[in-house]
Structure 1
Amino acid sequence: IDVSTQCEVMMIDKSTNYKARKTASVLTLEVQSSQETSSVDTPSLFGCTSETEESTVSELTKLEFHHRKAMLDIIAKKPKMYLGLPKQFLWLLDEIVEKSSIKIDKVSLIVTLLKIKQNDSLERISDQFEISRTKLSSVIFTGIEVLANYFQNFVYCPEPKQIKQNLPLVFKIRYSDVQMIIDCFEIQITKPSNPLKQAQTWSQYKSCNTVKYLIGCTPNGFVSFISTGYAGRISDKAIVEKSNLLNILPPNAVVLADRGFKEIESLFSLHGIKVLRPPTSEVLQSKVIASLRVHVERVIRRVREFSLLKPHSVVNYKYVSLLDEIVLIVCGLINLRGEIIKSY
């Protein structure tokens, strides 16, 4: 089930909620008084003459500019904290603007990444960057599309030789053929209004409506695969079968999986791929495999560092259709942060 069909996006034009007020008729005495004092300058909204008003508006514009610049300076000092982007890769924003087929500026990309990383309210971001509320939504939607198109190049399955060269020491002794560790994670979404979609997205494991993803990483924590989103009701076996994972892995590859991935050996064996799961009978081997498989959980923990994708951060229905792109952007940013486990 395509995640984009889970919720219907309903946009409400708030501009129609305001009613124009009719001014009362002016008394004759007031009209006469105004005619007598017509030669005197009428106070403006700021309580001053037109020349002073223009000066005040100019000062406010300068103040807004300095406020916006101050916010950008703060982000530039700590981009990893505010955007999830390592400081040494800030130059990527200029490259994205230059290479994007969609016209967009650097500030729009910063605002989009800030929303994904911090999940601040649109009202607050609007005040911080002096962007209108209506325009901000459009900016973020466009920014997600542009960023996803760029960061998809950072999520790929490396060659087996390259994986072995960066293999952590704990894998080199008995598990040097492992090319991917897989696991699933779920993102909570707002409850759909459609009863059928409520049932499809209901997760028994999380006890809420979710979108489920299959993620795979190399032994050193590089995100090498991320599936599209599926309704939370889907099983682990079904998501492996429906995703493109089996076509990405080369023959004779070894995959580490959790014990919850039941009956997937037959799917992988058809493609000449071996699956290692913690056995129930051998306690020692079960502990070893579980300790190696935990590295994919560390990757998922990095995904959860982005506030929009936190465990109990319910994704608004407006962003559900863009959730695949958001997850892809986050995985690309994670790969820029370096290895989870150092190879020695």
Structure 2
Amino acid sequence: MTGISEGNASKRFSKSLPIISKFLRKLIIKPQISCVKANLPLAFRARYYKVYCIIDCLEIEIEKPSDAIKQSLTWSEYKKCNTLKYLISCTPDGIINFVSGGFGGRASDAVIVENSGFLATLPSNVNVMADRGFKHIEHLLVSKGCVLVRPPTVSAGTKPTKDEVLETKRIASLRIHIERVIRRLREFSFLAPHACIDNKLLGYTDNVIKIVCGLINLQSGIISGR
């Protein structure tokens, strides 16, 4: 079979991507609380049995925009480059239950949580687990009767107590599930750790993320034996 031209391949890609995304995004499910509890890993059951989901942000490097305003909006102080940020949420057993649209790298985690539509998908009276970087979102969760579970904040120059150290270690050992999910996202070359998305492809990135998240939910579980 002869090859096709670059222009023809581009047209097929741009037409096919939204269609594939339309179907695979349906695999990003919003499970019932009872379903999450029924599949809760043992490590959560003693102290964190109310955790419904674990959240984190995925940052993807992009080509430096030519427009100065877009450069500013996408600049990430954390990554020291221009990025897109996506809020990813998974259940304690590793099923992706929410992925946001892309935000400029300048957007804080709190801004993304508030404006991504995540809160609308969150049931009332559940716990949400996050890392220490998710500051100033407690009031957003309280409005839905939810509780934020994150490592205790320790003031600069203050030595953490033994209980604070233990709590930080416990949460870190459970948060690893969202990190494993993001690691799977990074296995796709488009989202690889050192990939840099061309500006011409930015309009396709939201669909790519949803396709990849749907595919990951079809894979074997991140917890062995489940």
Question: What's the TM-score once normalised by structure 2's chain length?
Answer: 0.93
Match of 2:23 among 129, 137, 150: 150
Tell me if 1:296 matches 2:178: yes
- Residue 34 of structure 2 is matched in structure 1 by 161
- C-alpha displacement at 1:342, in angstroms? 4.3
Task: Choose between structure 1 and 2: higher strand proportion.
Answer: 2
Task: Name the amino acid aligned to 1:287.
Answer: K
Identify the residue that residue 315 of structure 1 maps to in structure 2: 197
Q: CA deviation at 1:264?
A: 1.0
User: Which of 196, 205, 223 is the matching residue for 1:341?
Assistant: 223
Question: 1:343: how far off?
Answer: 6.5
The partner residue of 2:122 within 237, 249, 252 is 249
Q: What is the match of residue 89 of structure 1? A: none
Question: Which whole-Å CA distance do the structure 1 matches of 2:94 and 2:224 have between them?
Answer: 9
**Which deviates more, 177-186 or 164-173?**
164-173
2:133 partner SS = coil
Check conservation: 1:220, 1:342, Cα contact below 8 A. no
Q: Check whether the contact 1:157–1:225 (CA below 8 A) recurs between aligned residues.
A: yes
Distance 1:198 1:285 in 2: 39
Counterpart of 2:81? 208
Contact kept, 8 Å, 1:212 with 1:229, in 2: the verdict is yes
Deviation at 1:332, TM superposition (A): 0.3
1:61-107 deviations in Å (ceiling 9; x for gaps): xxxx3xxxxxxxxxxxxxxxxxxxxxxxxxxxxxxxxxxxxxxxxxx
| Corresponding position: 1:224 with 2:97 | yes
Cα displacement (A) at 1:311: 2.0
Identity across matched positions, percent = 48
SS at match of 1:233: coil
Q: Deviations over 1:151-207 (max 9, x none)?
A: 110002201111111111111222111110000011111111111111111111011
Secondary structure of the residue aligned to 1:322 is: helix
CA distance in 1, matches of 2:56, 2:135: 12
Aligned mates of 1:160, 1:342 — CA distance in 2: 22
Are residue 278 (structure 1) and residue 151 (structure 2) matched?
yes
Closer/same/farther in 2, CA of residues 343 and 172 from structure 1, 3 Å limit: farther
In 1, Cα distance between equivalents of 2:7 and 2:175: 45
Structure 2 Cα separation of the partners of residues 134 and 338 of structure 1: 36
TM-aligned CA deviation for residue 239 of structure 1: 0.6
Matched-pair contact (CA < 8 Å) for 1:169–1:343: no
Classify the secondary structure of the residue corresponding to 1:191: coil
Give the alignment partner of residue 287 of structure 1, picking from 169, 177, 184. Answer: 169
Quote the offset at 1:338 in angstroms. Answer: 2.5
- The alignment partner of 2:83 has SS state of strand
Specify every segment of 5 or more residues in structure 2 that has no aligned partner in the other structure, as ranges.
155-159
Q: Distance in 2 between matches of 1:155 and 1:338?
A: 15
Q: 2:3 aligns with which of 123, 130, 141?
A: 130
Q: Which blocks of at least 5 consecutive residues in structure 1 are unaligned?
A: 1-64, 66-128
The alignment partner of 1:152 has SS state of helix
In 2, the alpha carbon distance for the partners of 1:334 and 1:223 equals: 8
5 Å matches for 1:1-344? 65=1, 130-279=3-152, 280=154, 281=160, 282-342=164-224
Q: Which amino acid counterpart does residue 300 of structure 1 have in structure 2?
A: I
Amino acid of the structure 1 residue aligned with 2:19: V
- Taking structure 1 as the reference length, what is the TM-score of the superposition? 0.61
Matched residue, 1:122 = none
Distance, in Å, in 1 between the alignment partners of 2:122 and 2:69 is 35
Q: Segments of 4+ in structure 1 off by > 6 A? A: none
2:157 maps to what in 1? none
Inter-partner Cα distance in structure 1 for 2:225 and 2:121? 24
